[in-house]
């Protein structure tokens, strides 16, 4: 019977642990998040792509990760309500096909918006932005807020769209 050197086995186990964890999951931190003020997001959404701006407007998902009840009480026009716990389960159907993702919550320093933006990054989405100040800053800037009847408890996805197409009236 051949004996394996314990030091060699320990090194092999350590390497398997290190290399086994690489690529299995993406890890994000607050440093990975990009924050933009509401007016900056509106500008980005209204800037055509392509050479010299000759292309179409980008397809933007305004993502509201709050509860359906909070979403119904007031949200960015054309935003999609995907409650945070449902993002991972429903992202294939609700988030694919967009070029940019604008995530917002209720106020400044909201944990829910940060967690949702990180989840999108971990799922491989690019061009994910957090709206600095959330819905509070949106309203303070004079942008419109839409209310809707409270959706049934099983509803997920809200009112999809590409976000405000033109600069909201002040």
Per residue of the chain (170 residues), give pLDDT as tens. 556 665 544 444 443 443 444 444 567 888 899 999 999 999 999 999 877 767 889 999 999 999 999 999 999 999 999 999 999 999 999 999 999 999 999 998 889 999 999 999 999 999 999 999 999 999 999 999 999 886 655 544 444 444 444 444 44
Supply the range of the domain harboring residue 41.
Answer: 29-140
Count the domains in the chain.
Answer: 1
Count CB neighbours of 26 within 10 A: 11
Task: Look at residue 4 and tell me if it is in a domain.
Answer: no
**What CATH number did the domain enclosing 129 receive?**
3.40.250.10
- At 110 the pLDDT is 85
Q: Bin 53: left if φ > 0, else alpha if -120 < ψ < 50, else beta.
A: left
> Beta-strand (E) ranges in 26-99?
34-36, 60-64, 80-81
- At 28 the pLDDT is 80
> Beta-strand (E) ranges in 77-165?
80-81, 100-103, 128-131
Task: Look at residue 71 and tell me if it is in a domain.
Answer: yes
């Amino acid at each position: 019977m051949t004996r394996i050197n314990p030091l060699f086995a320990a090194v092999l186990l350590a390497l398997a642990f290190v290399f086994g964890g690489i690529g299995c999951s993406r890890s994000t931190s607050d440093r990975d998040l990009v924050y933009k003020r509401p007016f900056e997001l509106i500008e980005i959404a209204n800037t055509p792509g392509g050479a010299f701006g000759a292309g179409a407007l980008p397809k933007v998902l305004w993502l509201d990760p709050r509860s359906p009840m909070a979403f119904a009480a007031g949200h960015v026009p054309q935003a999609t309500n995907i409650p945070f716990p449902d993002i991972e389960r429903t992202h294939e159907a609700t988030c694919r096909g967009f070029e940019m993702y604008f995530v917002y919550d209720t106020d400044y320093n909201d944990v829910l918006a940060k967690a949702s933006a990180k989840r999108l990054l971990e799922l491989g989405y690019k061009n994910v932005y957090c709206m600095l100040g959330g819905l509070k800053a949106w309203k303070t800037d004079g942008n419109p807020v839409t209310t809707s009847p409270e959706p049934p408890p099983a509803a997920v996805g809200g009112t999809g769209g590409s976000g405000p197409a033109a600069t909201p009236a002040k």
